[in-house]
């Protein structure tokens, strides 16, 4: 049975927000298996709603056009393993950021500011690659546990 959605504004969000994806992002093994199976394109639209990023931004980060994404949605297609992995890691990063900063809004603000632990780069600029997201996750862990040195 599908998890019912709750409405926030005009957008239906998965009940529980990020928790809806907890099974797929709870650890690296679960994420790999979910990515190999491929996630439905609707996950990208959920991610846009959950993260506050625009669908166009996410499409660009995946090197896909909005036209292609909308066609995938019409066809109820799954993303390939690499795109699925990237998308699930993005959801995991935002979940971790929400925990560390107390809200998605606070995390999004942090993403826009140069971070010392990331070579004074804006964390947002690292999001397009899986390795960049790994660096962000490491920095979030350092912030969470107070090991910023």
Structure tokens at 106: 């606070």
pTM given for the model: 0.81
Report the b/e string of 12-49 with b at 16+ CB within 10 A: ebbeebbebbeebbeeeeebeebbeebbebebbbbbbb
Query: 6 CB contacts (<8 Å, ≥6 apart)?
Result: 12, 13, 15
Please report, in tens digits, the pLDDT of each residue of the chain (149 residues total): 333 333 333 333 344 555 656 666 777 888 888 889 898 888 888 888 888 889 999 999 999 999 999 999 999 999 999 999 999 999 889 989 999 999 999 999 999 999 999 999 999 999 999 999 999 999 999 999 988 65
């Amino acid at each position: 049975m599908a998890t019912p959605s709750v409405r926030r504004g005009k957008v239906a969000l998965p009940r529980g927000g990020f928790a809806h994806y907890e099974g797929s992002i709870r650890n690296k093994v679960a994420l790999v298996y979910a990515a190999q199976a491929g996630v439905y394109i609707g996950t990208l639209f959920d991610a846009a709603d959950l993260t506050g990023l625009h669908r166009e931004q996410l499409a660009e980060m995946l090197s896909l056009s909005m036209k292609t994404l909308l066609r995938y949605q019409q066809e109820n297609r799954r993303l390939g393993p690499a795109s699925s992995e990237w998308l699930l890691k993005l959801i995991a990063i935002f979940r971790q950021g929400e925990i560390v900063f107390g809200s998605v809004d606070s995390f999004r603000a942090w993403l826009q500011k140069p971070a010392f632990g990331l070579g004074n780069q804006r964390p947002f600029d690292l999001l397009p690659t899986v390795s960049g997201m790994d660096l962000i996750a490491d920095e979030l862990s350092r912030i969470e546990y107070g090991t910023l040195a």
